[in-house]
A and B are shown apart, each in its own frame.
Chain A
Amino acid sequence: MSVEGEIVAPLHPVAAIEYCYAQGWTDGLPVVPPTEERVAEMVAASGRLADEMVGIIPPRGGVATVEKIAINAVMAGCLPAYLPILLAGLEAMLDPAFNLHGVAASTKGSAPLLIVSGPLADALGFNSRDGVFGPGWRANATVGRAVRLILRNIGGALPGELDRGTLGHPGRYSYCIAENDADSPWEPLRVEQGYATEDTVVVAFGADAPHQILEHSRGAEQLLETMADSMAALGNYGLVTRPGEFVVVLCPEHAAIVAADGWSRADVKRFLHERARRPLHLLKARGHVEGAIAAGDESRLEPITTSPDDILLLVAGGAGRFSAHIPRWAGSGVHHSVIKPVGACAECAI
C-alpha cells in the first residue's frame, strides 16, 4: 500500500482511470485521477495548509490531512468550491457524539447523510428539489461520494473487512441533500437550531436509506399518522434497543397541507414523537427491547424518539406527494447528529 509521495500512472486518461481501479482506490465507479495540479487547487480552496490534520478517520484510524481529503475529493469529482462544505461535514462526522466508527463499521450498514442548509447550497448548485435523493447534481453527488472515498481510502472501511455492513444501502455511494428553503412554510432547520438565515450549515446524521411514504390525504393529522405508522414499523432500526433521533423529510406539497391546517414545525415534531410508537410486548417478544414481557406491556407504547427534539424535520423535494423518514444508525447515547457551520473556523478563512 503506497500512502505517501507521488505515483506515476499511465498518461492516457482511460489508462490512468484503470490504474486507480487497480490500486483499489475507487467505490466501483471511475474516479478522476488525482493529479498534483488538481489536488493543489482543491487544497487552495480550503484556505488551509495541506498538511494540517483534520482528524483520524475510523475504522482503521487513518490520519486525514487537508491534502488527503482534497485527493479524495478530486477523485470523487468535486469542484474546489465544494471543499468548505465537505470539511464542515467531516468535522461534524468526527465529533465524538457522531460515533463515526460505528457508522462506518457496524453490521447495520448505515451511511453518513449530509444535509446542507443555507444560501451556499443554492450558490454552489446543491439540489434541494426534484429527485433530491437521486442522481443528476454534481454538488450533491460528488460531496456525498467524497465522504465514501474518505471512509474507504483514509479510514480503511472496506466492505467485508473493517466495514461489516451486512447489506449496506445505496446511500453508501453518495448521500447528500440540501434543504428546500424556498418551498418551505416554516423556518429552516438551521434557524430552528439557532443559526442565522444567512448562515450555511451541514448536518451529519448516521442514516439508513430513506423510507418513502405515499399520502394523498388532505389533512395534516392523517398525513402525519401515515408517517408515524411507517416510522414505527417492526424491525425498523429506530425501534430496536433504545430510542433516539429520526430525520423526517416532507415534500413541499405535504408541508403545505400540514401548514395550511395551522401546524408549526414544533407541532409536527410533537405529533410524530407521540404517535410513532409500538406496544412494548411486541418488541420484547422479538428481543428488540430487552427484558421479560410484563403485565401491561400490551398497552404500553414504546416511543421511537426520546423527545420531539429528536426529530430533524426539513422540507426537500419537488412536486408530488411523497415524503420520507430516515431511521438513525443507533439511538440516544450511542449516536447523535452533529451540525457544523460552514466557514466557522476562524483560522481557515473560509
Chain B
Amino acid sequence: MAVTSAQPGIRLLSPLAAPRPATAKAAPRLATLDGKVLGLLNNSKPNADRLLARLHARLAERYALAGVVQVRKDTSTRPAPVAILAALAGADFVLTAVGD
C-alpha cells in the first residue's frame, strides 16, 4: 500500500524489530533409538508427568533403550536451568511435554 514515487507521501519509521539471529542449530538425527538413553524433561505443568510416562512406556516397547534420565523444571515459564541441562547431557535424545 506504499505510495508510488509519483504521489506525495510522508516518511514513516517502522515500529517492528528483527529478532536476534538464532545461534543454536538442530542436532543430527539419530539413526536408531536402540541402545540410546532417553531424557524426559517434565516442565512441571499438571499431567506432564503422565504424558511423559506413557511416551516412555511406548518407546520402551519399540526400542531397546539403554536408560532414561528424568528431570523436572520448577516452572514451565523459564528456560531449564544449568543443573537440569547438565543432567540431560547424559541423554542421547530428550522429550519434553506440556500436560495441560
Contact = CB atoms under 8 A, between A and B. Distances in A.
B3 interface: yes
B7 interface: yes
Contacts of B7: 10-11
User: Lowest 6 CB-CB distances: which A-B pairs, in order?
Assistant: A62-B17, A102-B77, A8-B9, A153-B15, A61-B19, A154-B17
Q: Which applies to chain A's interface (DSSP): helix, strand, loop or mixed?
A: mixed
Interface stretch (A66-74, A77-85, A186-194, A274-282): A66-74
Contact of A7 (B12, B75, B100): B12
Contacts of B11: 6-9, 35-36
Contact of B16 (A8, A18, A19, A153): A153
B26 interface: no
Interface string A292-336: 000000000000000000000000000000000000001001110
B46 interface: yes
B62 interface: no
A35 B12 contact: yes
B12 A16 contact: yes
Given A9-B12, A16-B10, A63-B17, 9 more contacts: A3-B14, A4-B14, A7-B11, A7-B12, A9-B10, A56-B20, A63-B19, A64-B17, A101-B77
A330 B14 contact: no
A7 B15 CA distance: 11
Contacts of A11: 3, 7-10
Given A8-B3, A9-B2, A287-B46, A71 B75 contact: no
B13 A34 contact: yes
Interface in B1-38: 1-3, 5, 7-20
Interface residues of B, number: 24
A185 B32 CA distance: 70
Contacts of A62: 16-19
Interface in A131-172: 149, 153-154, 156
Interface of A: 1-11, 16, 18-20, 22-23, 25, 33-36, 39, 56-57, 60-65, 67-68, 71-72, 75, 99, 101-102, 106-107, 149, 153-154, 156, 287, 290, 330, 333-335
A10 B10 contact: yes
Nearest to A150: B15
Nearest to B74: A333
B78 interface: yes
A173 B100 CA distance: 28
Contacts of A333: 74-75
